[in-house]
Amino acid sequence: MDATIRRATRRDARRITTLIHSSSAYHGQYASILWDYRVTGEYLDRHEVFVATDRGGRLLGFYALLLDPPELDLAFVADDAQGSGLGRALIEHMIAQAHAAGLPTVRVVSHPPAEMFYRRLGAERIGTVAARPPAVPWERPELEFRIHAAEAPPQS
């Protein structure tokens, strides 16, 4: 996948929100978690949010890393970009950012169908997060990336 990963700006907020709501991974039984969800300019100012765009500037994916406590809060890849290696590139970029920030670990509360994706990239399951009806009526896998202090992974 030929994409550029860069820090998100306030101008990206609406496009990020649109990408989230267009994700087929959150249709059907998982739709309730995103009904009223919006990414705001304030959110982008407070957190480490990076977007991946193609040469034409189209948003292909993004992630949001919270530093305190360390957590991968959001990660999405456009439906038509899935399977291209972009998700891997975004997570590797996130791990490099976490390393640069001196974080020992990064927690991920995963969308259930995405658990194996994170595990293939090195996350380990550390538990389960209980359901929170009505918005989240299902349990979610709790995972953790261990960030190695001696060596940061290459950025894609």
User: pLDDT by residue (tens digit) across 65-98?
Assistant: 999 999 999 999 999 999 999 999 999 999 999 9
**Token output for 88:** 């891997």
Q: Which of left, alpha, beta for 85 (phi over 0: left; psi -120 to 50: alpha)? A: left
CA 7 to CA 51: how far, in whole Å? Answer: 6
Predicted pLDDT of residue 28: 84
Domain ranges of the chain: 4-146
For 12, other C-beta atoms within 10 Å of its C-beta total 21
Predicted pLDDT of residue 153: 52
What is the amino acid identity at position 75? A
For 50, other C-beta atoms within 10 Å of its C-beta total 18
Report strand pairing: 59-67 vs 70-77.
antiparallel
Query: If we measure between CA atoms, which residue out of 137, 56, 143 comes closest to residue 105?
Result: 143
Q: Which residue has the tokens 């959001």?
A: 74
What's the gap between Cα 135 and its chain centre? 19
Which residues of the chain, if any, have pLDDT below 50?
150
**Token output for 11:** 């101008």
Predicted pLDDT of residue 150: 46
Question: Can you give the pTM of this predicted structure?
Answer: 0.91
At the second CATH level, the architecture of 4-146 is 3-Layer(aba) Sandwich (3.40)
Q: Which residue has the tokens 């977007």?
A: 51
Distances (CA, A) of 51 to 18, 59, 136: 13, 7, 26
What is the amino acid identity at position 89? A
Predicted pLDDT of residue 106: 98
